[in-house]
């Protein structure tokens, strides 16, 4: 397994993995094992790579993407209504005695791990790899998990140690909002 910051030439392989587990295209029988709710186009992935260097990937020996983590500034995500909603609420949140802002935090996710490597430690390794980059700019990671996705909740809470800071509703869905201290690492 190789870990790296995604480049434009990785986009097709990222999309292949993403579409396999995206809620609109995932096999119904696989939904219980987790899914990604946000759809992305080739252009959107290229944009986050160009503007934020914000996709971290794990590849196998054939250079196929087997897992990814997206991470980017709130400014980048602000064009999506869900993230605009979260940005508006940030001033109401604090973590470790510090008010959460668009300057000291970033949005982590979505995350996708191929079924063939789940439970192998790839999530933890990729998470730490992404933190190594993002912690240079931000003190606090913020993310959310849809309550209808218990596998993702367990992975983030139990495996990675993220903390639930609040629960919220948006667009007729219920979510857990998580935070994490970017100076910590899961495997070190």
User: Is the pLDDT reported for residue 26 higher than 90?
Assistant: no
Work out the average pLDDT over 6-30.
Answer: 83
Integer Cα distance of 160 and 186 in angstroms = 6
172 band by pLDDT with thresholds 50, 70 and 90: very high
Strand order from edge to edge, sheet including 65-72 = 2-5, 55-59, 65-72, 105-113, 140-146, 173-181, 163-170
φ, ψ (nearest 5 deg) of residue 181: -80, 115
In the chain the domains, ranked by start, together with CATH numbers, are: 2-181 (3.40.630.30)
Work out the average pLDDT over 115-134.
Answer: 95
CB atoms within 10 A of CB 65: 22
Integer Cα distance of 182 and 162 in angstroms = 10
Beta bridge partners of 55: 70
Prediction pTM value: 0.92
pLDDT of 37: 66
Work out the average pLDDT over 49-68.
Answer: 96
Integer Cα distance of 56 and 116 in angstroms = 18
Do β-strands 55-59 and 94-95 pair in parallel, antiparallel, or remain unpaired? unpaired
Work out the average pLDDT over 150-162.
Answer: 93
pLDDT of 35: 65
pLDDT of 40: 85
Q: Which residues contact 33 (CB under 8 A, 6 or more apart)?
A: 115, 118, 151
Are the C-beta atoms of 145 and 175 separated by less than 8 Å?
Answer: yes
Work out the average pLDDT over 106-122.
Answer: 92
Beta bridge partners of 99: 94
Integer Cα distance of 182 and 124 in angstroms = 14
Q: Number of helices (H) and strands (E), helices first, in the chain?
A: 6, 9
Range in 38-42, 113-117, 149-153, 157-161 with the lowest mean pLDDT: 38-42
């Amino acid at each position: 397994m190789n870990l790296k910051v995604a480049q434009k030439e990785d986009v097709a392989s990222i999309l292949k993995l993403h579409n396999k587990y995206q809620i609109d295209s995932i096999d119904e029988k696989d939904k219980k094992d987790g899914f990604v709710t946000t759809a992305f186009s080739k252009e959107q992935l290229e944009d986050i790579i160009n503007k934020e260097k914000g996709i971290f990937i794990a590849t196998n020996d054939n250079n196929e993407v087997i897992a990814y983590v997206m991470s980017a500034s709130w400014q980048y995500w602000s064009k999506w209504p869900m993230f605009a909603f979260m940005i508006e609420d940030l001033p109401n949140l604090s973590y470790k005695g510090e008010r959460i802002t668009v300057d000291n935090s970033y949005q982590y996710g979505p995350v996708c791990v191929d079924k063939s490597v789940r439970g192998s430690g790839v999530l933890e390794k990729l998470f730490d790899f992404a933190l190594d980059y993002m912690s240079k700019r931000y003190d606090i990671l913020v993310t959310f998990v849809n309550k209808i996705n218990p596998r993702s909740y367990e992975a983030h809470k139990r495996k990675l140690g993220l903390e639930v800071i609040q629960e919220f509703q948006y667009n007729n869905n219920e979510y857990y909002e998580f935070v994490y201290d970017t100076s910590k690492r899961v495997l070190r």
